[in-house]
Amino acid sequence: MKKILYLILICIIIFGCRHKSAETGKQAKQDIPGEPAYGDALITGSIGEPSILIPMLAGDSASHEIAGLIFNGLVKYDTDLSVIGDLAESWDISPDGLVITFHLRKGVKWFDGVEFTADDIMFGYKTIINEKTPTAYQEDYLQVNKAEVPDKYTFRVTYKKPFAPALTSWGALVILPKHLLEGKDITKTDFGRNPTGMGPYKLRTWTSGQSLILESNRDYFQGRPYIDRYIYKIIPDPATMFLELQAGELDLMGLTPIQYTKQTETAYFRENFQKFRYPVFAYTYLGFNLKYPLFEDKRVRQAIAYAIDKKEIVDVVLFGLGKPATGPYVPDTWPYNPDVKTYEYDLQKARDLLREAGWKDTDGDGILDKGGRPFAFTILTNMGNSLRMNTATIIQWKLVKIGIKVDIRVLEWSTFVNEFIDKRRFQAVILGWSIGLDPDQYDIWHSGKTKEKEFNFVSYKNPEVDSLLEKGRRTFNIEERKKAYFKIQEILAEELPYIFLYVPDATPVVHARFKGIKPSPIGISYNLYRWNVPKSLQRHASMEP
Amino acid sequence: MTSYLLKRLFEMIPTLLGITIISFFIIHLAPGKPTDVLTEMNPKITPEAREKLEKYYGLDKPVYTQYRLWLERIVKFDFGESFSTDRRPVIEKIWDRKQPLLERRLLITFGINALSMLLILMIAIPIGIFSATHQYSFYDKITTVTVFVGFATPAFWLALLLMILFGIQLDWLPISGLKSMDYDTLSVFGKVWDRAKHLILPVFVSSFGGLAGLSRFMRSSMLEVIRQDYVTVARAKGLREKKVIYSHALRNALLPIITLLGLSVPGLIGGSVIFENIFGIPGMGQLFYKGVMMRDYPLVMGILTIGAFFTLLGNLMADIGYMLADPRIRTK
C-alpha cells in the first residue's frame, strides 16, 4: 500500500507539470492544405444520454441533438437568422397572413428508399395534435385551423389568426414516415430507438449508457456528408470528459469558461485543437417579484441596476466569455435594439435614487431603512450552476455598498421551481432563459401569463407591452415586428422587471483535423455534413457499407 | 436447518414490503415530477398539455393508489415502464436481453462490486492479521495511517487524480467506459485485455475506501482471539507460531468478517452511483442517479427493490455462513 502511495506521489511530482506530447506525432496541424475527402469519424461526448429519437416526444437536449442529425424540417434558420427552405423548396404566405403553402423538394428519400411527400407532414401533424401523443410541443400546431395536401409536393396550412412564429414551427418536429408508422402507437414502437429519417446521418448502433454510432446517409439530398461516422459517447462526468479530450479520445466538446481561458491555453491544445466562440441564445437575469412591496417602486429597481457592474460580472464569472445584456435578445441579431437605456455602474446615482424613493439609513447600522424596515432581501438561485451562484455573490457584495442587505439561497432545481417560483414565494431570483430563434416572447412578458406555472412569474404588467407583443406575433412583416420588439426593449430597459445581466458565449473545441467549419451566429454544427478531414489526416479507418 | 431457512425467507417478505412503502412515499415527497423534463420552464406548454401529460403517466391519482398499482404489478415481477420519454420497460433497462451478458447493467454493477470486494478481502485480511500480530510496531502504525487516508479520500477526487496520471501523463490505461471504440476488431485475447484495462481504475478506486473498515475489524478481532486461552494452550503445546495464527486463531477471527460482508451490500450499491458516473460505466448506479434526477419513479423503485432484495439476501447469507462456521450458533 505504502509503496503504491509513494509511487503515485513521485509520479505526480515528476509528471505533474508536463503535458502530453505523444499526440503531436500524428501531425494534426491546422494549416495543412488538403482536398475535402470522405471518411474518418467525429467523436463527441455528452453528459446525458438521449432517451428517444422522435423529435416531438423528446424533452432533453441530447435527444434533440441526435434527432436533429437524423431528421430535417420543412424550413430552417440560415446563418443570419433568416428563415430558409430545407425540405420545402419555397413557400407562399397569403396577404392576410393566414395561409402558408409549402412547395416541397422533389426526390427526397427516407432511409428505406421510399419518397418523402406531403403526406408524411400531414401524418406528423395529425400525430402531434393527437390527444394521445405525450408531447410538449402541441401549442403551435393547435393554432392551425385547417391542413391540406393539394398534391404530393404541396402542403397548405390555414391559421385562425396570423401567427408569426408559425412558419418556423414547421421544422423537424412534425415530420414522420407515414408508410412506417401509420396505424401504430408511436410510444409503443421501437421507432424511437431505431428511427428512419432523411437527414445527413442515420443511426447504426445504440449501446445504452455507452455510445451511439451514426453513419452518413450517402443519399442525403444535399450531398453525401464527408465524415463517415458520428460517434456520440456518453460520459456523465464533465471532468472525465475533459480528460478524455486531452487523451485524444474525443474530437468535440463544449468547454467551461475556465477550461477555455486557462486549461486549454497550452502548446498541446493550440496544435491539436481549434476553439470557437459565439454567443449562446440565452441570457441570465436578476428577476424581481414585482408583487413584493420592496420592488414596487421603479426607482428602487433602477438603483439596483446602477449598483451592479455587468462588465465586472462577465469578466469575473465568465472569464470575459460573454457580453453584458441590455434586453432579452442576443446582441447583433435582428430583434436586438442596441440603443436602449443602459445603467452604467454608478454607486452615487444608485444612492440618489434610493434617497428619492425614501430609503435612508436612520439607525446608522449601514443598512438603509424606511418606516422602520431595513432594506433586505433574498436572492434565490438553483443548485449546480456555479456561474449563477458566483453572480449572486458579486451582486450581494455590490449592493451592501449602497446599504442593501442581500442573502443568497441556493435550492435544488425541482424544489426551486415547484415550491418557490410557482408559488411566488421569492423576492428576487437569478435565472436564465434560453431564447428561441423567433423573437416572440409573449409567454414571458404578457400580463395574461401570470398564473401558477406560467412564465411571467415576476408578475410584470404593462398594457403597452401587451399590445406590442400581440402585434409582433400577428404579422409576418419583419420591419413591423422589429419596430414592436425594439419598443418593448426600450420599455423593459426603463421599467426593469428584470435586470438583464449577461449573454454567455458557447465555447466548443474541435480537433484540428476537421476542416470546413464556418462559425456563425447560430453556432458551428449547422453544416456538420460539410465538415471534412483531408485524407492524410484521417485517423479512423474508413468504413465501406 | 431447513425450517430456520424457510422462516427467514418468509420474514423477508414483510421487510421488503416495508422498504418499498417507505421508498415509494419518500421519492414522491421530493418536489418535482417526471413530466418536468418536458414542462418546466418551457414557454410552449399550456396548462391543458401539462394535465394531459400528468394523466398519461398516471400522476393525477393519489399517491396510495399509485403505490397499490405499482404493488399489483410488482408481485407479478412486472417492474412497469420507465417514465422517461422512451417508455421502455424498467426491467429492460436493468437487464437488457439484447445486449451481451457482460454488458447488462445489473451484471456490470455486481461484477465490479464483486471484484472490488474480492480485492478488499485479499488486501485487508493480511493487513489486519499482520497489524494484530505486530501490534504497535512501525508497520502497524503505517498501515493504520494509510488505510485511514484511503477511508478519508473522496472517491471522485482520487479517481480524477488517477485518471490524469494513468490516462494522460503515462497513457497506460483508458480513462472511462467499459471498452474501447475499436473493441470489435480485437482478437479474443485483446478483448479480454481491453476489458481488464478498463476495469483496473474503477475497481481500485471502489475498493480503496473499503480497506480501512475491514482491515481494522480484522485487526481487532484477531487481537481478541490471540489473547484467548486456547491460543495460549496451542502455543504451550509447542506449535509453530504460523500454525497457531493461521490455522487456530484465524478461523475464529474471521467470524465477524462474515457478518460485515453481509452488511456491506447496500454500501457497495451506494458507492456504485459515484464511481459509475465518474468512470462513465453504464451500470445500475448510473441509471439510478439519472432516474432520481428525472423523478423516474418506476425506474427508481425497480432499482431500490432489487437493491433491497440483495441486501436482505446478503444478510441471510451472512447468517447462514455464520451458522456453518460456528457450531455454537448451529445448536441453538
Q: What is the Cα–Cα distance from A503 to A322, expressed in whole angstroms? A: 6
Burial of A206 (0-12, 13-18, 19+ CB in 10 A): middle
Cell digits of residue B308: 433491497
Amino acid (1-letter code) at residue A81 = L
Mean pLDDT by runs of 10 across the 545 residues of chain A is 50 44 41 75 91 87 92 91 90 91 94 94 93 83 91 93 87 90 87 93 91 94 94 90 92 92 91 93 94 92 95 94 93 90 93 92 87 91 88 95 92 82 90 86 90 86 94 88 94 95 95 92 90 90 57
* pLDDT at A13 (0 to 100): 45
Q: What is the Cα–Cα distance from A238 to B241, expressed in whole angstroms? A: 53
* pLDDT at A8 (0 to 100): 52
Do residues A189 and A177 make contact, with C-beta atoms less than 8 angstroms apart? no
The minimal CB distance from A210 to the residues B87, B160, B178 is found for B178
Burial of A80 (0-12, 13-18, 19+ CB in 10 A): exposed
Residues in chain A: 545
Cell digits of residue B153: 479520500
Interchain pair B32, A414: CB under 8 A: yes
Amino acid (1-letter code) at residue B306 = I
Strand-pair category, A41-46 with A229-234: parallel
How close is the nearest chain A Cα to the Cα of B27, in Å?
13
Do residues A1 and B127 make contact, with C-beta atoms less than 8 angstroms apart? yes
Interchain pair A136, B176: CB under 8 A: no
How close is the nearest chain B Cα to the Cα of A321, in Å?
25
Strand residues in A351-483 grouped as ranges (E) = 369-370, 373-374, 376-382, 405-411, 428-434
* pLDDT at A19 (0 to 100): 43
Q: What is the Cα–Cα distance from B146 to B160, expressed in whole angstroms? A: 19
Do residues A275 and A260 make contact, with C-beta atoms less than 8 angstroms apart? yes
Q: DSSP string of B170-191? A: S--S--SSSS-TTGGGS-HHHH
* pLDDT at A514 (0 to 100): 94
Interchain pair B278, A51: CB under 8 A: no
Do residues B302 and B79 make contact, with C-beta atoms less than 8 angstroms apart? yes
Q: What is the model's pTM?
A: 0.82
Residue identified by cell 418499498 is: B20
Which residue in B35, B37, B44 has the most chain A C-beta atoms within 10 A of its own C-beta, making it the best mutation to test that interface?
Answer: B44
CA dihedral A137, A141, A142, A147 (to 10 degrees): -150
Residue B274, chain A, CB below 8 Å: the answer is no
Give chain B's residues under pLDDT 50.
none
Q: Give me the numbers of helices (H) and strands (E) for chain B, helices first please.
A: 18, 0
Interchain pair A239, B177: CB under 8 A: no
Long-range contacts of A517-524 (CB under 8 A, 24+ apart): A517/A274, A517/A276, A518/A79, A519/A276, A519/A277, A519/A278, A520/A79, A520/A80, A520/A278, A521/A79, A521/A80, A521/A81, A521/A278, A521/A279, A521/A330, A521/A332, A521/A333, A522/A77, A522/A79, A522/A81, A522/A437, A523/A278, A524/A276, A524/A278
3-class secondary structure, B299: helix
Which residue in A20, A237, A380 has the most chain B C-beta atoms within 10 A of its own C-beta, making it the best mutation to test that interface?
Answer: A237
Do residues A42 and A514 make contact, with C-beta atoms less than 8 angstroms apart? yes
Q: What is the Cα–Cα distance from A62 to A234, expressed in whole angstroms? A: 10
The minimal CB distance from A418 to the residues B32, B156, B161 is found for B32
Instruction: Establish, for the pair of chains A and B, how many residue pairs have beta carbons separated by less than 8 Å.
Output: 173
Do residues A450 and A459 make contact, with C-beta atoms less than 8 angstroms apart? yes
Q: What is the CA radius of gyration of chain B?
A: 24
Closest CA to A429 of A389, A478, A475: A389
Spell out which residues of chain A touch residue B36, defining contact as CB-CB under 8 Å. 414, 417
Q: What is the Cα–Cα distance from A203 to A193, expressed in whole angstroms? A: 9
Interchain pair B86, A140: CB under 8 A: no
Q: What is the Cα–Cα distance from A541 to A39, expressed in whole angstroms? A: 8
Name the phi and psi angles at A99, rounded to 5. -120, 125
* pLDDT at A34 (0 to 100): 64
Q: What is the Cα–Cα distance from A118 to A102, expressed in whole angstroms? A: 9
* pLDDT at A26 (0 to 100): 40
Nearest CA in chain B to A417: B40
Name the phi and psi angles at B222, rounded to 5. -70, -45
**ipTM of the predicted structure?**
0.80
Spell out which residues of chain A touch residue B163, defining contact as CB-CB under 8 Å. 240, 243
Which residue in A244, A412, A415, A419 has the most chain B C-beta atoms within 10 A of its own C-beta, making it the best mutation to test that interface?
Answer: A244
Spell out which residues of chain A touch residue B88, defining contact as CB-CB under 8 Å. 193
* pLDDT at A25 (0 to 100): 38
Spell out which residues of chain A touch residue B200, defining contact as CB-CB under 8 Å. none
Closest CA to A39 of A532, A536, A545, A517: A532
Beta bridge partners of A121: none
